[in-house]
Amino acid sequence: MTDATPAPTPDSAPTTDPRAAGARLGAPLTLPSGAVLKNRIAKSAMSEALAGKDLAPTVAHERVYGRWARGGAGLLITGNVMVDEHALGEPGNVAVEDGRHAAALRRWAEAGTQGGAHLWMQLNHPGRQAPKSVMRTPAAPSAVPLGGSAGRFFGTPRALETQEVRGIVERFAVTAAHARAAGFTGVQIHGAHGYLVNQFLSPEANRRTDRYGGDLEGRMRFLVEIYAALREELGDAFPIGLKLNSSDFSEGGLTEEDSRQVAQRMGELGLDLLEVSGGSYTSPAMMGGNNDGGTYFERYARRLRDVTDVPVMLTGGFRSAATMAAALADGVTDVVGLARPFVIEPELAARAIAGQEIEVELPRVKTGLAAVDSTLGPALALPWYELQLARLGKGLEAQDRMSAVAPLVHMVRQHGPAALSPRRG
Ligand SMILES: Cc1cc2nc3c(=O)[nH]c(=O)nc-3n(C[C@H](O)[C@H](O)[C@H](O)COP(=O)(O)O)c2cc1C
């Protein structure tokens, strides 16, 4: 990257020339806090499921993030880190609620910031999306169970008391303070995919009558208070991002119009980066397959520009350098976010910026047993990617021809039948 690299402008034409695409992808970006991302390619959050029984990060985290940092991405966002060790989204999550993991967090941060990469910790609380194997009675905005076929894997939640809500707000700030102390260079609030922040935003999940419920103003109060607590703890010069659903894609959930208003408010408050995603367990819009040539949430991102100038990171479906560069050139996004391609091709950022043609094809994850593939279908993809992350964590290469039988057996052995539950994002 040099100062001579042309900055992308919204009206410049998309290019198919790999060198021009590389220059565009390699342009730095200054965020509202003043932090500078060295380029426009971000590794989006992927739950690593690599923590030990103590819920601390391990040497596997260091290896995977070291590889990604050396692989050239400007921004690495960790898999969701839980703010409450009793409320996990799945076994193997890292949870940070005090200084116990300080040394391990420091090693993780050191590995993930090599070469000037930003490393942001994604902060999360699952709310009602804590599987039964982890928690019988999760706590949520209201006692509304998760619907759909995924619902049977989650207990019916109890409604949080008003003062408990404030307690969770403070937990986000505590976890963030430990992240910063360890050397993470930013944090991201997980406000998407049906987890607790998203539950508060959703009229379907949030039926509260106190100040955290009701109209959109009430439903976004939890998020706004988390943001304010983080800013107070971290100061104005530390980047804070948010991953937000463009829509929940489910009946009664957060609508696109409400989501735009949330985005607008967060922009006014000084948010550094808004990552656009969508969907949840019950409607996994974020987990489409090979979709290069148009990303899942592009239309929403385009309409965001009318209401806010918050920097945008569009995630979901990018597979080629040409499409990533075209999205930047078009102005629909400021940063391109990719998750699964980084597992298959950990060095994709450096290669794309160097002007190489990148085309990552995600393998079709299947066991070859028709009955299993048709019933478990996409649920197999998550353990498949987790097993690949475990390989990277051992210093091995990903195996893109791996059948889904191995991850299926591995997950059932590790976590019991609950491993077969459709999980996360
Ligand atoms: C194994 C796996 C774990 C994921 N874990 C998270 C997570 O912890 N937090 C999150 O916000 N999204 C998570 N996601 C969703 C990704 O960040 C991303 O939104 C989605 O995979 C679409 O991007 P892609 O098409 O580039 O893969 C996960 C995805 C996968 C495949």
Residue 12 is predicted with a pLDDT of 43
Residues contacting 377, CB < 8 A, separation 6+: none
Whether residue 393 is contained in a domain is answered as no
Q: Is 425 in the pocket of ligand 1 (CB under 6 A)?
A: yes
Whether residue 371 is contained in a domain is answered as no
Would you say residue 11 has pLDDT above 80? no
Atom of ligand 1 nearest to the CA of 89: 8
Would you say residue 118 has pLDDT above 90? yes
Q: Is 319 in the pocket of ligand 1 (CB under 6 A)?
A: no
Whether residue 10 is contained in a domain is answered as no
Pocket test for ligand 1, best of 286, 338, 343, 345 (most atoms within 8 A of CB): 286
- Cα-based torsion angle of the residue sequence 285, 280, 46, 35 in order, rounded to the nearest 10 degrees: 90
> 302: domain range?
18-363
Pocket test for ligand 1, best of 80, 281, 424 (most atoms within 8 A of CB): 424
Residue 354 is predicted with a pLDDT of 97
Residue 415 is predicted with a pLDDT of 54
Distance 47 CA to ligand 1 centre (A): 7
Distance 337 CA to ligand 1 centre (A): 10
Whether residue 298 is contained in a domain is answered as yes
Q: Is 78 in the pocket of ligand 1 (CB under 6 A)?
A: no
Number of separate domains in the chain:
1
Distance 46 CA to ligand 1 centre (A): 5
Measured between its terminal Cα atoms, the distance across the chain in Å is 33
Integer Cα distance of 207 and 204 in angstroms: 7
Distance 88 CA to ligand 1 centre (A): 16
CATH code, 192:
3.20.20.70
Whether residue 396 is contained in a domain is answered as no
Mean residue pLDDT of the chain comes to 90
pLDDT tens figures, 368-413: 888 777 777 667 888 899 999 999 999 999 998 888 887 788 667 6
Return the higher-pLDDT residue of 232 and 405: 232
Closest residue by Cα to atom 5, ligand 1, is 46
Distance 3 CA to ligand 1 centre (A): 33
- C-alpha distance from residue 22 to each of 230, 402, 403 (Å): 35, 31, 33
Would you say residue 167 has pLDDT above 60? yes
Taking residues 118-136, report their average pLDDT: 94
- Could you tell me if 195 and 123 are in contact, meaning their C-beta atoms sit under 8 angstroms apart? no
Q: What percent of the chain has pLDDT over 70?
A: 90
Q: Is 286 in the pocket of ligand 1 (CB under 6 A)?
A: yes
Closest residue by Cα to atom 23, ligand 1, is 316
Whether residue 369 is contained in a domain is answered as no
Residues contacting 59, CB < 8 A, separation 6+: 107, 393
Whether residue 411 is contained in a domain is answered as no
Integer Cα distance of 112 and 115 in angstroms: 9
pLDDT tens figures, 311-329: 999 999 999 999 999 999 9
Distance 127 CA to ligand 1 centre (A): 18
Confidence class of residue 8 from pLDDT cuts 50, 70 and 90?
very low
Sign of the four-CA dihedral 213, 216, 220, 224: negative
Whether residue 186 is contained in a domain is answered as yes
